[in-house]
Amino acid sequence: MNLFSQALKRILIVTTIVMLSGTTLSLPATTVQAESLKHELYQTEKGELKYSKEIIREVFKTLRRETKGPLSYDEAILLIENMSKVEVMDHYLASYGKKVDAKEIPRIVNQIYSIDLKRISELGAGNQTYPDEIIQGVKESLPGWLDEEDIPSLSKLEVLDLYLTSYGKKIDGPEIRRVLNQIFGINLDGISSLEGTGVSLYSKDQWISQYDQDLFIVQTGLTDVDVWIYPTDYFTAQTGLEQLPEELQNRLKKMGYRYNEEVGALYYADPEGNSVPDQFKGQTLGILIQFIQNNYQGLL
């Protein structure tokens, strides 16, 4: 009897025993859940999902480990869509299982935040200088034909790659976001908290955060040296106001903003020509969000 015949005979015997004993063979619950999720995701149109199918699939794996119990497709989708972007990113990375390659980070950020780090790098936008920590890490990884004087000419993606090469250990979500802010001038923690506040952010020649019912827009230049603030079309349609409310203007003017006729918005430029610090941006956003909460919460 050849090997194929022997194998077939064993399968038939096992099947017969199972049928006679009334026993059913079943897959582990976690496997069934994973297969169910894949099936449901496959049938769901991309436009119906807040995040890509890859992000949802990997975040689901982390959620399943955390809940330690059954988790249906609908429950998983509801949980994921109610998470902040920071939480989604951390859950995704928790399922990654290996050190994140620098070349993967732009893809992950784009899929979760819809922010194009490659474009920022190509434009040379964002921070024009780097902290000593970043410079030191890049120096340690520079190839032989480059030296410290060449660092300013490197693209931001190259700086990120070289810095993470020197980093050595596995890097987690909070640390990745900190490093990205130091290199690209993109505060992913702050951006995550903008959802539902009524404030849009346009920076580095792209929308960083934008939702249909946002009331005010904060716009910065390529290098974050200057800032504009103006109302959205939605705010104007709802209130009839084509400029920021006077009370809000007065609060922002105390920070140094002035109305600029040419751009039709409140405008601020750093007097030293440096990138506006995170503290200043945070104070600006804080005033806008508080004003919305006190006066226009019903429009959100």
Note whether residue 37 is domain-resident. yes
Q: What is the DSSP string of 212-248?
A: TT--EEEEE-TTSSEEEEEE-HHHHHHH--SS--HHH
Note whether residue 1 is domain-resident. no
What would you measure as the largest C-alpha separation in the chain, in angstroms?
A: 93
Residue type, 127: N
Q: Outline where the chain has alpha helix (H).
A: 3-21, 29-43, 53-67, 73-81, 85-94, 105-113, 117-123, 132-141, 156-167, 173-184, 188-192, 233-239, 246-253, 278-295
Mean pLDDT of 106-126: 94
State which residues form the domain around 272: 194-299
- pLDDT for 109: 97
Q: Quick one: CA dihedral 292, 296, 297, 300, positive or negative?
A: negative
Expressed in angstroms, the distance from the first to the final Cα of the chain is 75
pLDDT exceeds cutoff 60 at 222 = yes
Contact of 156 with 126, CB cutoff 8 Å: yes
Read off the pLDDT of residues 226-269 as tens digits, 9 standing for 90 and up.
999 999 999 999 999 999 999 999 999 999 999 998 888 999 99
Examine the fold and report which residue of 159, 189, 219 is the final residue of a domain before the chain moves on: 189
Please tell me the distance from the alpha carbon of residue 115 to that of residue 104, in angstroms, as a whole number.
14
Query: In terms of DSSP bridges, do strands 216-220 and 199-203 run parallel, antiparallel, or are they unpaired?
Result: parallel
Higher-scoring residue by pLDDT: 83, 168: 83
247 and 288 in one domain? yes
Read off the pLDDT of residues 12-59 as tens digits, 9 standing for 90 and up.
443 433 343 444 334 344 554 556 666 676 677 667 788 998 999 999
Residue type, 185: G
- Which range is least confidently modeled, 138-147, 203-212, 242-251? 138-147
Q: pTM of the prediction? A: 0.82
Higher-scoring residue by pLDDT: 257, 124: 257
295 and 198 in one domain? yes
Note whether residue 24 is domain-resident. no
237 and 251 in one domain? yes
149 and 203 in one domain? no
Note whether residue 88 is domain-resident. no
Q: How many domains does the chain have?
A: 3
Mean pLDDT of 174-196: 94
288 and 271 in one domain? yes
Mean pLDDT of 155-168: 92
Note whether residue 16 is domain-resident. no
CA distances from residue 84 to 97, 174, 191, 196, 234 in whole angstroms, order as listed: 22, 14, 10, 11, 24
Note whether residue 234 is domain-resident. yes
274 and 235 in one domain? yes
